[in-house]
A and B are shown apart, each in its own frame.
Chain A
Amino acid sequence: GQSLEQPSEVTAVEGAIVQINCTYQTSGFYGLSWYQQHDGGAPTFLSYNALDGLEETGRFSSFLSRSDSYGYLLLQELQMKDSASYFCAVKGDAGNMLTFGGGTRLMVKP
């Protein structure tokens, strides 16, 4: 089977840095994705890591360690609009399927 673990909630203040961790156990692994979902909205793609290391896209960065079956999403210079749920998802085979984690609800406070 496939399983992904991430914290259910994280709280941080505006301007701070927050890291959302994701550990996974999957029968196959091609890459780790991150998606953002605001309340009442659709999930939107943030990043994808297929290889070990850090990928940076503006204020958001994503890290992967395949040997540790672990990744994280790093959000810098937090803004109120970053309050949302963040999901990690594993691409476990050559096809199109993604297995999602339970999501981390990030609350950014003033």
Chain B
Amino acid sequence: ETGVTQTPRHLVMGMTNKKSLKCEQHLGHNAMYWYKQSAKKPLELMFVYNFKEQTENNSVPSRFSPECPNSSHLFLHLHTLQPEDSALYLCASSQGGTSGGHNEQFFGPGTRLTVL
């Protein structure tokens, strides 16, 4: 496999369910990201992991819980979500570090989440 993969591609869950989204990158990158994409809204950055350490939490509600066990894998654990959390959740990866240089982000295909 190449690039950034995400599973599942589609997920329907009730508000009381617990589920997890998985992201895997095969690019040798050290930074990974979770974004939320809702209709007619900008891509919203949720979390950033740099060398497995969380470096950004963009005021995300605690019902979203990220996990980064290694540089290649990123999870988003979901529990007691609300219908307004329905969106496309995109994972991305890039070279890590804080050198100030440009690090192109490579996106996965996303998980389309529907909360009933």
Contact = CB atoms under 8 A, between A and B. Distances in A.
Top 5 closest A-B pairs, CB basis? A94-B100, A42-B107, A100-B43, A45-B104, A102-B42
A48 B104 contact: yes
Given A42-B108, A44-B107, A96-B103, A102 B31 contact: no
Interface range, A side? 20 to 34
Interface range, B side? 20 to 34
Given A30-B100, A94-B100, A96-B50, A45 B105 contact: yes
Nearest to A100: B43
Nearest to B58: A97
Contacts of A44: 107
A95 B109 contact: no
A50 B102 CA distance: 8
10 contacts: A42-B109, A87-B43, A89-B43, A95-B48, A95-B55, A95-B98, A96-B96, A98-B105, A101-B42, A102-B40
